[in-house]
Amino acid sequence: MFPRKKSALSKKSSLPSSDVAGGWVYSDIVKEHFFNPKNILCKNKKTYHADGVGFVGSPACGDMMKMWIKVNSKTDRIKDCKWQTFGCASAIGSTSILSVMITEKGGMKLDDALKLTPQDILKRLGGLPDRKIHCSVLGDKALREAINDYFRKSGQKNRIVRKPARIICKCLNVTDHEIEEAVLEGKNTFEKVQHITKAGTACGKCIPKVKELIEFYNHKYFD
């Protein structure tokens, strides 16, 4: 399903030409984790016995991420992490650094791993171009799904964490999650968000709230 390291992530690969031209500035850390991704699963995934598996994305939009974790049940820490993705340099780099963050120094506590945000990943990476920040969300979401899967399999369903969604456009059932996703994908104006989510195209009462959320998410991720 996912590309092998040799074909998709070899040193012959290159970052976007706009990086060289100065349009997009990738940090040396991003480049290192793109050309030399850490903890990527290269062997047959059927032989890797994970305690939890997370999968996000879809073939339709092109971005997909799968993550496997092993957990020390006595210490409640992540002792190993593997991942695979269809994605760009930013997605590869951000997930690679995330896999290091949660396994270094004896492994991160599950509760702490659940609190990780895209901003934490960006800070460790040294930043990403604005239009590529949404790529850091893939690993974050896949990790959360893998931890929840571990909770489910280990009989700890009371620990499963779900971020509740609020319906903003009641006519079309558009949630704050959908608006957030649109902004992260580069739809940074009301017109662009409305085009992809259709929020506010019925009665229009939600438009002020939609605009407020767009401003909030733009400030949160891109300011």
| Residues with a known catalytic role | 61, 135
Distance CA 69, CA 198 (A): 37
Q: Which residues, including other chains, have CB under 8 Å from residue 203's CB and lie 6 or more apart?
A: 171
- How far is residue 212's CA from residue 112's CA, in Å, rounded to a whole number? 30
- DSSP assignment of 91-160: HHHHHHHHHHHTTSTT--BHHHHHT--HHHHHHHHT---GGGGGGHHHHHHHHHHHHHHHHHHTT-GGG-
